C-alpha cells in the first residue's frame, strides 16, 4: 500500500512570493491534515480537509489556504511568504473519524529568503 | 495553554536497555486519543502507538508500550530493548474528540530527542 506522498521535497522561495505544496493521501483515506513544523515551535496544526471541504483551521493567517480535490489529494497555498514561514510542512491522512491514527508524508521543506 | 508536555528535551540510552519517554497531557474532554510518533532525521513522522481514553489496558506494539495513567494524565512511552535505529525525535500527541472545536487535529508536544549508544 502506497503511503502519503508530498511534493516537492524541498523549495526555496523569496519573501513576498507565493507557493503551492501538494499531498496525496493513502488510498481510501478521505481526511487530509496539514501541519507546520518550524524550528523551535514544534508541530502546529494548519488545516483539515475532508470530502472536499475545509473542516477546520489552526491559528494561522488567511494567507495560508488550500483545497481538496475529488480524488482527496490536497494543495496548501501560502501567499505573501514571510521569513518565518520557513518550516517543514507535513501532510497527514486518515479515514474520517476520531478513532484512527494519522499517517504522515515525508514533508516539504520550505525555505524563505 | 500547553496541552501536551514532554519534559525531557534529550535522553540517552544504551543499546538493548529499556527507556521511558515522559508525556503529560491536559484536557477536560472525557473522550480523547493519545499517540506517539517517531521522527528520524529524514523528517517523516512515523506512527508508533495509540491509546484511547476509554481503553482499559495499556497499548502495546512490539517493543513499544504506552504506560497510560489516566488519573495522572500521563502517557509515557516505553521502548524495550533499544536499538541504534531508535535514535530519533519522539513526539507525544493528543486528539480531543471535539470535531466542532479543533476537528480531529493532533496537538503535539515539543518532542524528546533519543540517542541510543552502543
Which residues of chain A make contact with B95, given a CB cutoff of 8 A?
98
DSSP track, chain A: ----EEE-SEEEE-TT--EEEEEEPPTT--EEEEEEEETTTEEEEEEEEETTEEEEE-S--TTEEEEE-TTS-EEEEE-S--GGG-EEEEEEEE-SSTTS--EE---EEEEE-
Q: Which residues contact B28 (CB under 8 A, 6 or more apart)?
A: none
Q: Is A18 exposed, middle or buried (0-12, 13-18, 19+ CB in 10 A)?
A: exposed
Q: Which residues contact B88 (CB under 8 A, 6 or more apart)?
A: B38, B39, B40, B41, B113, B114
A48 touches chain B (CB under 8 A): yes
CB–CB contact B43 A33 (8 Å): no
Q: Which of B118, B116, B112 is nearest to B10 (CA)?
A: B112
**CA–CA distance, A14 with A82 (Å, rounded to integer):** 8
pLDDT tens track for B64-107? 999 999 999 999 999 999 999 999 999 999 988 766 655 678 89
CB–CB contact A99 B33 (8 Å): yes
Query: Between A98 and A23, where is the model more confident?
Result: A23
Q: Which one of B35, B44, B66 makes the best mutation probe of the A interface by having the most chain A beta carbons within 10 Å?
A: B44
Q: Which residues contact B16 (CB under 8 A, 6 or more apart)?
A: B81, B82
Helix (H) or strand (E) holding B60: strand B60-61
Strands B74-79 and B46-52: unpaired
pLDDT tens track for B6-63? 999 999 999 999 999 999 999 988 889 999 999 999 888 999 999 999 998 999 999 9
Confidence of residue A99 (pLDDT cuts 50, 70, 90): low
Which residue do the cell numbers 484511547 mark?
B52
CB–CB contact A106 B91 (8 Å): no
Confidence of residue A42 (pLDDT cuts 50, 70, 90): confident
Whether pLDDT at A98 is above 60: no
Task: Please answer whether residues B68 and B55 qualify as being in contact, where contact means their C-beta atoms are separated by less than 8 angstroms.
Answer: yes
Amino acid at each position: 500500500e502506497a503511503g502519503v506522498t508530498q511534493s516537492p521535497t524541498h523549495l526555496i522561495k523569496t519573501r513576498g512570493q507565493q507557493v503551492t505544496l501538494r499531498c496525496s493521501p493513502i488510498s481510501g483515506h478521505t481526511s487530509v491534515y496539514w501541519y507546520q513544523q518550524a524550528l523551535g515551535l514544534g508541530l502546529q496544526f494548519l488545516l483539515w480537509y475532508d470530502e472536499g471541504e475545509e473542516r477546520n483551521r489552526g491559528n494561522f493567517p488567511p494567507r495560508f489556504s488550500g483545497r481538496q480535490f475529488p480524488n482527496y489529494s490536497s494543495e496548501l497555498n501560502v501567499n505573501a511568504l514571510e521569513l518565518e514561514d520557513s518550516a517543514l510542512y507535513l501532510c497527514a491522512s486518515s479515514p474520517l473519524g476520531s478513532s484512527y491514527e494519522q499517517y504522515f508524508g515525508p514533508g516539504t521543506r520550505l525555505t524563505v529568503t | 495553554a500547553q496541552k501536551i508536555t514532554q519534559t525531557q528535551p534529550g535522553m540517552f540510552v544504551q543499546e538493548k536497555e529499556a527507556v521511558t519517554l515522559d508525556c503529560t497531557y491536559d484536557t477536560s474532554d472525557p473522550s480523547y486519543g493519545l499517540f506517539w510518533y517517531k521522527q528520524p532525521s529524514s523528517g517523516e513522522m512515523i506512527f508508533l502507538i495509540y491509546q484511547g481514553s476509554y481503553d482499559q489496558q495499556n497499548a502495546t506494539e512490539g517493543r513499544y508500550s504506552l504506560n497510560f495513567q489516566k488519573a495522572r494524565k500521563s502517557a509515557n512511552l516505553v521502548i524495550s530493548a533499544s536499538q541504534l535505529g531508535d535514535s530519533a525525535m519522539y513526539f507525544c500527541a493528543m486528539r480531543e474528540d471535539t470535531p466542532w472545536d479543533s476537528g480531529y487535529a493532533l496537538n503535539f508536544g515539543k518532542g524528546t530527542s533519543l540517542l541510543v549508544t552502543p
